[in-house]
């Protein structure tokens, strides 16, 4: 299949957009992305979204949004993989363009969560877990992650404070991200003393929900070179892989090992002909600090049980060996669940183009982004390269 470029990106601020509907949020990001791309039409639209049916009583987002943005009679569909929906939509759009089925595609991740009642949001987020064997027992999504973190701390002997660098780094990186939800620094003391949510996960271990949309425009790489002949850096998707694991954590052999992340990263490395040592920065899915650790381990950046060491030794910082959450991550940029995967890619593209402002990673040429749906059940990994 032919190589595909991300030729345009657009992001709305992640906030409480009570004055904007789903179509308006999505449309806002798509208009920016298409202007960025320099094209006025796309053959297809792929919407990543998890909760619109539950929280906004709206399905059929493909038709809703393609009409709103003026893609008259275009093909359009929604793709769902819980919190990995945005990345899953990208993968669907990527295959459509890479295969020649389409000459261009818009991918948009969109989620609107903050004008529903908090209890309804918590219940809706629990649909990412196993409804029959987890949620039905009263487990919220954060509770499931708390049990994983507790088990991990027990198995490998880490203290809660050992996870602080992940949250501190994410918040520091969000400060200069104009669309971030929580653009402020936090201290180690603030991390330690934050309000408990589900022990051992406190408020500063957990990513905030939000409303937002991020859009990506995909074209074949050769076409991008013709459109952007002005010398702007091109960004190609050089690997894309998705894998699943048992949905219920108790069914997995080891609850502290993300096999789906491992499989997904392994396949992506194989497609790209690269390994973790070639990745200049890694936009991972830090819905909870424990997920940063497990994602790093499963993707080959740390030995099993040694992920916290990357934080404690400063390797995850913008100047470190493997910078992560370079624009704030889920933790501080924010986590509008079905949109998050698209935000991760938008940030990756900005970094690879050298347009990340004060957050710019030096000499960023190859980047990985990974999205997780459920507590490790669906994992989608993309590798992008500056060309």
Residues that are catalytic? 83, 335
Distance CA 234, CA 251 (A): 43
Given 15, 21, 122, 306, the residue binding a copy of itself (CB under 8 A): 21
| Per-residue binding letters, 82-111, with a copy of itself (x by CB under 8 A) | x-----x--xx--xx-xxxx----------
Stretch of 105-113, 215-223, 348-356, 373-381 lying at the interface with a copy of itself (CB under 8 A): 373-381
Bridge partners of 241, per DSSP, are 381
Contact call for residue 80 and a copy of itself (CB under 8 A) = yes
Which residues touch 354 (CB under 8 Å, ≥6 apart)? 233, 360, 364
Stretch of 124-132, 191-199, 273-281, 322-330 lying at the interface with a copy of itself (CB under 8 A): 124-132
Contact call for residue 246 and a copy of itself (CB under 8 A) = yes
Q: Which residue, chain included where needed, has tokens 């052999």? A: 253
Given a contact cutoff of 8 angstroms between Cβ atoms, the answer to whether 91 and 384 are in contact is no
Measure CA of the first residue to CA of the last residue in the chain; give whole Å.
18
In the complex, least distance from residue 110 CB atom to a copy of itself, rounded to whole angstroms: 13
* Residue among 23 and 150 whose Cβ is closer to a copy of itself: 23
Given a contact cutoff of 8 angstroms between Cβ atoms, the answer to whether 378 and 258 are in contact is no
Residue 108, classed as helix, strand or coil, is strand
* DSSP per residue, 194-233: SPEEETTEETTTB----BEEEEEEEEEHHHHHHHTTT-PP
Count of residues near a copy of itself by CB under 8 A: 64
Contact call for residue 122 and a copy of itself (CB under 8 A) = no
Given a contact cutoff of 8 angstroms between Cβ atoms, the answer to whether 337 and 114 are in contact is no
Q: In 344-376, which positions are buried (b, 16+ CB within 10 angstroms) versus exposed (e)? A: bbbbbbbbbbeebeebbbeebbbbbbbbbbbbb
In the complex, least distance from residue 152 CB atom to a copy of itself, rounded to whole angstroms: 21
Given a contact cutoff of 8 angstroms between Cβ atoms, the answer to whether 387 and 235 are in contact is yes
| Per-residue binding letters, 127-166, with a copy of itself (x by CB under 8 A) | xxxxxx--x-------------------------------
The CA-atom distances, in angstroms, between 223 and each of 3, 107, 314, 385 are 10, 18, 40, 17
Work out whether strand 281-283 and strand 366-373 pair parallel, antiparallel, or are unpaired.
Answer: parallel
In the complex, least distance from residue 246 CB atom to a copy of itself, rounded to whole angstroms: 5
Given a contact cutoff of 8 angstroms between Cβ atoms, the answer to whether 7 and 39 are in contact is yes
Given 29, 263, 289, 295, the residue binding a copy of itself (CB under 8 A): 263
Contact call for residue 236 and a copy of itself (CB under 8 A) = no
Distance CA 297, CA 266 (A): 12
* Residue among 258 and 384 whose Cβ is closer to a copy of itself: 258
Contact call for residue 371 and a copy of itself (CB under 8 A) = no
Instruction: Name the token pair of 123.
Output: 């219940």
Given 140, 175, 259, 300, the residue binding a copy of itself (CB under 8 A): 259
| Per-residue binding letters, 328-367, with a copy of itself (x by CB under 8 A) | ----------------------------------------
In the complex, least distance from residue 38 CB atom to a copy of itself, rounded to whole angstroms: 24
Given 113, 235, 243, 317, the residue binding a copy of itself (CB under 8 A): 243
Q: Give 119: exposed, middle or buried? Use CB within 10 Å, 0-12, 13-18, 19+.
A: exposed
Contact call for residue 304 and a copy of itself (CB under 8 A) = no
Given 16, 38, 67, 274, the residue binding a copy of itself (CB under 8 A): 67
Instruction: Name the token pair of 153.
Output: 């701390």
Stretch of 12-20, 47-55, 160-168, 281-289 lying at the interface with a copy of itself (CB under 8 A): 47-55
Contact call for residue 381 and a copy of itself (CB under 8 A) = no
Contact call for residue 299 and a copy of itself (CB under 8 A) = no
Q: In 256-269, which positions are buried (b, 16+ CB within 10 angstroms) versus exposed (e)? A: bbbbbbbbbbbbbb
Q: Which residues bind a copy of itself (CB under 8 A)?
A: 1, 21, 23, 50-54, 56-64, 66-67, 71, 73-82, 88, 91-92, 95-96, 98-101, 123-124, 126-132, 135, 241-247, 251, 259-260, 263, 373-374, 377-378
């Amino acid at each position: 299949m032919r190589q595909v470029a991300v030729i345009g990106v657009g992001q709305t601020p992640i906030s409480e957009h009570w004055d904007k509907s789903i179509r308006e949020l999505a449309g806002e990001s798509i208009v920016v992305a298409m202007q960025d791309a320099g094209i006025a039409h796309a053959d297809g639209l792929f919407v990543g979204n998890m909760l619109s049916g539950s929280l906004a009583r709206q399905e059929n987002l493909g038709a809703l949004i393609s009409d709103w943005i003026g893609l008259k009679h275009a093909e359009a569909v929604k793709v769902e993989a819980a919190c990995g929906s945005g990345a899953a939509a990208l993968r669907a759009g990527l295959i459509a363009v890479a295969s020649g089925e389409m000459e261009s595609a818009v991918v948009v991740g969109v989620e609107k969560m903050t004008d529903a009642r908090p209890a309804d949001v918590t219940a809706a987020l629990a649909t990412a877990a196993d409804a029959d064997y987890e949620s039905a027992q009263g487990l919220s999504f954060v509770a499931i992650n708390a049990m994983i973190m507790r088990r991990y701390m027990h198995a490998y002997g880490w203290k809660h404070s050992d996870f602080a660098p992940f949250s501190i780094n994410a918040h520091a990186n969000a400060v200069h991200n104009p669309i971030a939800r929580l653009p402020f620094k936090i201290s180690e003391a603030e991390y330690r003393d934050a309000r408990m949510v589900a022990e051992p996960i406190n408020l500063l271990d957990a990513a905030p929900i939000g409303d937002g949309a991020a859009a990506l425009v995909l074209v074949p790489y050769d076409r991008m070179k013709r459109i952007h002949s002005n010398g702007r850096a091109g960004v190609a998707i050089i690997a894309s892989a998705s894998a699943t694991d048992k949905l219920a954590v108790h069914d997995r052999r080891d609850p502290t090992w993300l096999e789906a992340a491992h499989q997904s990263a392994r396949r992506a490395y194989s497609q790209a002909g690269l390994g973790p040592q070639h990745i200049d920065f890694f936009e991972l899915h830090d819905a909870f600090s424990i997920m940063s650790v497990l994602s790093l381990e499963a993707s080959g950046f740390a030995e099993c049980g040694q992920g916290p060491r990357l934080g404690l030794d400063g390797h995850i910082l913008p100047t470190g060996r493997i910078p992560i959450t370079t624009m704030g991550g889920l933790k501080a940029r924010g986590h509008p669940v079905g949109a998050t995967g698209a935000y991760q890619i938008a940030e990756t593209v900005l970094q690879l183009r050298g347009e990340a402002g004060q957050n710019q990673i030096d000499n960023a040429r190859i980047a990985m982004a990974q999205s997780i749906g459920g507590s490790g059940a669906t994992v989608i990994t993309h590798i992008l390269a500056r060309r």
